Amino acid sequence: MGNFESFWLGRWHGEGTSNTVPRIVEGDNNNYQISDFFVKDGSYLRLKVAQLGYTLPRSLTSKWGIQRLRLFIQGENLFTITGYDGYDPEVGTRNGLDSGTYPQSRTFTFGASITL
């Protein structure tokens, strides 16, 4: 049947079972028919990119034959505030469905900018 979110374990599968989650039908595209059942609030606030750097004083760097030396750290996708219950409110594929799509990774970069 493929991979589905655990949400679908509570689906309708006979008398006396869930009446809030529709049934899954193997080989039938009706599992993802457009419906307000699948509409979710995708609003979010995300700190996408932040960078903090420090340029060393020229009096110090000139001793090493360097005109300018800047050290920095940068972070991407540091945090997201959302009530969205999917993987990532910013990632949407397949007509707005995010099933099977990985969320964006959080990355940190350390670096130096050197002018000789």
pLDDT in tens, 39-83: 778 889 999 999 999 999 999 999 999 999 999 999 999 999 998
Predicted pLDDT at 53 = 98
Q: What is this structure's pTM?
A: 0.64
Q: Which residue has the tokens 């995708």?
A: 42
Give start and end residues of each alpha helix (H) in the chain.
Answer: 58-61
CA distance 109 to 72: 8
Contact 69, 55 (CB under 8 A): yes
Handedness of CA 31, 35, 37, 41 (dihedral sign): positive
| Cα 96 to chain centroid, rounded | 14
Q: Per-residue pLDDT tens for 24-43?
A: 666 666 656 667 776 778 88
Q: 49 phi and psi, to 5 degrees?
A: -140, 135
> How many Å apart are CA 1 and CA 52, to the nearest integer?
48
pLDDT above 90 coverage of the chain, percent? 44
**Maximum average pLDDT range among 3-12, 91-100, 101-110:** 101-110
